[in-house]
Structure 1
Amino acid sequence: MSPKSKPAALEFEGRAVTRAELDARAAGLAAELSGTGVRTGDRVALMSSNRPEFVVAVLAIWRLGAAAVLISPAWKHAEVRHALAVTAPVHGLGDQSVLAELLPTRHLDAPVEPRADPPPDLDPDADAVLVFSSGTTGMPKAVRHTHASFAHAVRQWREVLGLTAADRIQIATPPSHILGLLNIVTALDAGAWMRLHRRFDLETMLSCIQEDRITVEMAVAPIALAIAAHPDLERYDLSSLRYIMWGATPITESVAEQVTARTGVAWLPAYGASELPVIACSPLGSSRLDTVGKAAPGVEIRVVSLDTGETLSHGRIGEIQCRAASVMAGYLPEEANGSAFAEGWYRTGDVGFVDADGWIALTDRAKEMIKVRGFQVAPAEVEAVLHAHPLVEDCAVFGVPHEGDGEAVIAAVCGHHALTEAELIESVGATLAGYKRPRHIVFVPEIPRLPSGKVLRRVLKERYGRQTQR
């Protein structure tokens, strides 16, 4: 059977590509890169939209025993310069002009001469990929994964998703994000069919579920919110879906329940980080939305006190810490590693608890907790109440300094023009303790988020913090 007669591994904008074609093009590109001087142990910057050439580039870099430095195609000059300074790549690959202005770069549109070179054996302890942390509090750090740690993550993801060669998925997540890369490599590993999208478009996503008979869909918070708000969602046939995975942020139950009521499709909450791609996932078939699931195979989890660092018993709230073979090798720059681990446990910075049956609940980020009169307020808890209001479309909670209370709770809200500040504050006060009530509500046109769905609270504080300190 010729390679072109084999089933496609992926499709993109009318093009079908088999796994054999991906490997042949990767071998050709690897030979070309080797000719430019790229060697084992080097780093190659890759700044690309979601396309087959991205997949070929990653496979080519790995064939050389080099590491791929994944740079967001949305980044501007200053961000790219920072990424290059931190990681020191010797060459670039991509489809963005900004990278070519800063580093010798081969454009991904240039043709590749396929080759039949077999893939070499790679050092499992060598760096495979460097991705950048979210950067919610400043310039991002580079997260280093070895071939061994990333391979463990792929196996874990495949197992918790129940992904097989019979599955069909579509990927619109930026490939520079750990979830985008993980989805692509896991689909290849499982032999599943995938459709790549250059960018997210809701109508395209829903149409492809119907036409391609997608079985596994991926969503982060902005995508979930967009699905729930779609006025004609019922006209799409989504019956092929086994579930929709919700990741990157804790699930918003009211949004998930609304989508399920309208489509019949269940959700699969999952939890991971750039530093540890698969931490937990809800067991297949579970209907719980109040938790991110249970620890992934091979992941150990403990909860420690935010004040003393002591290990806490079941049900007590503290920082989630993890051990696993899939954890990162470390950060660049090196000085960022000082607080990344505690006694060999990766510090997630997430706050939550684990119950006696192993279910994990996240309540917030340690650095985002708001301290009001000595009491800790989790923004996610207040956001959950606000999200439940029928006229609230999106929201985010942050803290600002307050002379009397230490900090004040502020809520940024997008929603119907009929909403009032007093009404929303009262709705929170009717559900939560008085110290958790927002002192002010600011009505905003949109909530700033990263592509992963994480709220940029730093941006909200910069934009609206001063006007709320009254």
Structure 2
Amino acid sequence: MNISSQLTLTARTTPMKEAYIFEGDIKTYAELDAAINAFASGLERIGINRGDHIGLVVGNSPFFVISLYGAARIGATVIPINPIYTPEEMSYILKDGDVKAIITLDLLIPHFEKLHSQLPNTEQYIICKTQDGTKKVAEYELDTFTIKPKMKSFTEVLSSGSISYEGPELRDDDVAVILYTSGTTGKPKGAMLTHKNLYRNAKDSADFLKMNDQDKVIATLPMFHVFCLTVALNAPLMNGATVIIVPKFSPQAVFDVVKRHDATVFAGVPTMYNFLLQSPAEKDALKTLRLCISGGASMPVALLKNFEQKFNVIISEGYGLSEASPVTCFNPLDKPRKPGSIGTSIVNVENKVVNELGEELPPGEVGELIVLGPNVMKGYYKMPEDTAATIRDGWLFTGDLAKMDEEGYFFIVDRKKDMILVGGFNVFPREVEEVLYSHKSVVEVAVIGVPDPEFGEAVKCFVVTNEPVKEQELIAFCTEKLAKYKIPSTIDFLEELPKNTTGKILRRALKEKLGV
């Protein structure tokens, strides 16, 4: 079984059930499955076959869903790419990923015209027509573009296929998706996720979160990111739920779809919850939600408590990474949640904390979090040495520092590489961030280490506040709650913190700004 065949099974058993809602357009499972069949068949007609690599450069839309599942149905491998990347950023991924065809938006045609000479192996460009792109495409001198002979419209491919198409029989270990990591160190690496990885993690996550066919799940996280891909797209579709596709996050967009469609599940990163909390919305604005899911970064305890108190909906914080498809932990729904914890291992996945020798540590001790399960990637594309260093005896070494309590709840302490060493003492940025988040004036905070001639490193903070506050006031606030070596030496006030497309605060961008 894989995500594509499971969707077909759902379409046969509940054909009239709503599969997705997109800006007022509603498609049933039967309609979605027929479109996937037609698109898969259309891909084969233009020469895209099992094992070929397809770059998917579109935003949150039915284009993404049909393309992903259509490619999976023929056994092709999808490489999702952020559509706001520059041509240079896309170039590395497309070349390294050996992409044969690219599915993209009409707005991005000029990008690929610039890249075309660098992509000699790319044979097809499938163009998705957008409302914003219609006028701009008319301004292009397409006849002069070298890629024009290779361009076909998404609609053309879709209409040329057969809705009764039956694809090849796929193997569990066939690579379905290659996700390029954010590249916090060096160039991005392509994590190869198999059909088994995606199916099992989606199914196990849905079971853990008790998703069912009555759920309506908001997908406003970027679909090209693994968090949305598994938790807000594949997981609900595995269980016959309805996906509400939101093209771009905004607090008002979330409040609107909750009210209009009686949404029941929302998945987001801490920054999104912060924006929702800071909005002037009434406390009943999210009243139909039964569950909120947080991942992508550690959620400050103060933010979690304030959000739940205001909107009367629980947040289940979890943990994952691209290399694990991504989910390994969630706070359980049938047992006490622990603020600040990423929860317990989901079914079929084992997490443990080890020392530098790979030996398991007792509860309470900090070490590296490692993961074992059917969700662990096949490896990094064309990087056998990096694969061998990351996956050892089946265990995925995450690079995150964590600890486990006596009841099996895990707590992320920090990234190994983000740890600050002050005069021989370890300082974990998150610990300092948690304290500052508890101050009434602080909205966002990021902590990094900077060189210090006396202590080796010093703690530096960047904060966004909702009212004027002095640096010394915040330092004094920290002095009451932290050991002396953990107290920030300096605090910079910013209008906003740098974030990636999922809203995750980027400490590395702050370090680069300072040249550290």
Structure 1 and Structure 2 fold alike (TM over 0.5) = yes
Secondary structure, counterpart of 2:323 in structure 1: coil
Which of residues 107, 110, 117 in structure 1 aligns to 2:127? 107
CA distance in 1, matches of 2:221, 2:281: 23
Does the CA-based 8 Å contact 1:171-1:180 persist in structure 2? Answer: yes
How do 1:64-463 residues align onto structure 2 when only pairs under 5 Å count?
A: 64-95=74-105, 96-97=108-109, 98-99=111-112, 101-102=115-116, 103=122, 104-109=124-129, 110=153, 111=155, 112-113=158-159, 115-182=163-230, 183-234=232-283, 236-276=284-324, 277-285=326-334, 286-306=336-356, 308-334=357-383, 335-463=385-513
CA distance in 1, matches of 2:29, 2:381: 33
Does the CA-based 8 Å contact 2:246-2:253 persist in structure 1? Answer: no
User: Aligned pairs, how many?
Assistant: 464
- Match for 2:360: what amino acid? T
1:457 shift after superposition: 1.3
CA distance in 2, matches of 1:462, 1:131: 24
179-188 or 112-121, larger mean C-alpha shift: 112-121
27-36 or 210-219, larger mean C-alpha shift: 27-36
CA distance in 1, matches of 2:312, 2:126: 46
Cα-to-partner distance string for 1:235-269 (whole Å, 9 max, x where unaligned): x4322111211111122111121122212111111
Secondary structure, counterpart of 1:275 in structure 2: helix
Secondary structure, counterpart of 1:292 in structure 2: coil
Does the CA-based 8 Å contact 2:55-2:79 persist in structure 1? Answer: yes
CA distance in 1, matches of 2:370, 2:257: 38
Does the CA-based 8 Å contact 1:10-1:18 persist in structure 2? Answer: yes
CA distance in 2, matches of 1:246, 1:435: 31
Cα-to-partner distance string for 1:330-379 (whole Å, 9 max, x where unaligned): 11341432421234311111111111210111111111101111111110
1:4 shift after superposition: 12
Where structure 1 has 5 or more consecutive residues not aligned to the other structure, the ranges are none
1:3 shift after superposition: 12
Cα-to-partner distance string for 1:267-301 (whole Å, 9 max, x where unaligned): 11111111111110011143421211001111112
TM value normalised by structure 1: 0.94
1:220 shift after superposition: 0.5
1:310 shift after superposition: 3.1
1:225 shift after superposition: 0.6
- Structure 1 runs of 4+ aligned residues shifted over 6 Å read 1-5
Secondary structure, counterpart of 1:151 in structure 2: helix
CA distance in 1, matches of 2:15, 2:37: 20
Which of residues 36, 39, 51 in structure 1 aligns to 2:49? 39
TM value normalised by structure 2: 0.86
1:425 shift after superposition: 1.4
Secondary structure, counterpart of 2:380 in structure 1: strand
- CA RMSD after TM alignment: 2.0
283-292 or 266-275, larger mean C-alpha shift: 283-292
Q: % of aligned pairs identical?
A: 30
Match of 1:11 in 2: 21
Cα-to-partner distance string for 1:90-136 (whole Å, 9 max, x where unaligned): 11112133346544310123312252213442111110011121223
Q: Return the structure number with greater helix share.
A: 2
Describe the shift of the 1:210–1:371 C-alpha distance in structure 2 as closer, same or farther (beyond 3 A): same
